[in-house]
Amino acid sequence: MRLRHFTKLFITGMSISFMGTLPLGTLNVSAMQISVSDGMKPAFLFAIGAMFVEIAYVRISLSAMDWVRRHDRLFRWLERATLAIIAALAVASFIAAGRPSGAEKHAILSDSMPRFLLGMLMSAVNPLQIPFWFGWSSVLFTRGILGTGPVDRNIYISGIGTGTCIGFGVFILGGRWVAERIGDNQRVVHIVVGILFALTAVLMAGRMMRKRKTGAGDAGQSAGGH
């Protein structure tokens, strides 16, 4: 029975994390861009860095749910910072596309900062994953799928990390596939990535406006590429 419970818990965490990674967001589109401009290894290092921070946020959501509820204003400011980062990434992509050769690397994502640290930094300022996991963890607690013991939490978090890596892998491998199809035309890549970032910014701004009107967002909704 315990093995069945742990297996179900692992698959549940992995599935939620994988599906939450698929909607367009700052992190998955950035991983795709890095895979195109810098290669697969830097992209996966970026993804692993982002995953570690996500796991830390999951632990926060599990251990400090009352604290999370009391600091809604902090998350609103972080949400605005994330929107500004997405807008800056979109502008940087369009600037790179407008250069004569179109082959220059992305001004922000191709910085000299190690990709692992860049992934951690960009994930750290993304507040959407906190209410996302706060909501899902609450649901799983209520339904008896997630227990309060350390073994349950560790298996749950392991599933989440696995699902996040698989989700990032879809974008990283997809980015490489697109790059191989268009050959050396980096201008097209920059334009496509710029459009994706711009679309993500518009969707996020719309979600923020809806939350402001309604007073609160749905705790269990997708975090838009958390």
| CB 14, CB 166: distance < 8 Å | yes
Instruction: Write down the domain spans for the chain.
Output: 2-214
DSSP 8-state secondary structure symbol assigned to residue 218: -
For the cut 70, the answer to whether the pLDDT of residue 215 exceeds it is: no
Query: What DSSP assignment string belongs to 63-126?
Result: H-HHHHHHTHHHHHHHHHHHHHHHHHHHHHHHHHHHSSSS-PPPTTTTSSS-HHHHHHHHHHT-
| pLDDT band of 53, cuts 50, 70, 90 | very high
In angstroms, the CA 206 to CA 203 distance is 5
Tokens encoding 51: 């995953």
Q: Of the candidates 60, 29, 53, which has an alpha carbon nearest to the alpha carbon of residue 172?
A: 29
Helix H or strand E encompassing 58: helix 40-63
DSSP 8-state secondary structure symbol assigned to residue 43: H
Q: Of the candidates 33, 37, 183, 40, which has an alpha carbon nearest to the alpha carbon of residue 104?
A: 37
| CB 57, CB 133: distance < 8 Å | yes
Give the pLDDT score at 223.
42
Q: Of the candidates 125, 117, 120, which has an alpha carbon nearest to the alpha carbon of residue 86?
A: 125
Give the pLDDT score at 74.
63
Give the pLDDT score at 225.
52
Burial string for 155-167 (b: 16+ CB within 10 Å, else e) reads bbbbbbbbbbbeb
| pLDDT band of 71, cuts 50, 70, 90 | low
Tokens encoding 53: 């921070």
Question: How does pLDDT run across 136-156, given as a tens digit for each residue?
Answer: 787 788 778 888 788 999 999
The pTM assigned to this predicted structure is 0.65
In angstroms, the CA 69 to CA 138 distance is 12
Q: Mean of the per-residue pLDDT values for the chain?
A: 76
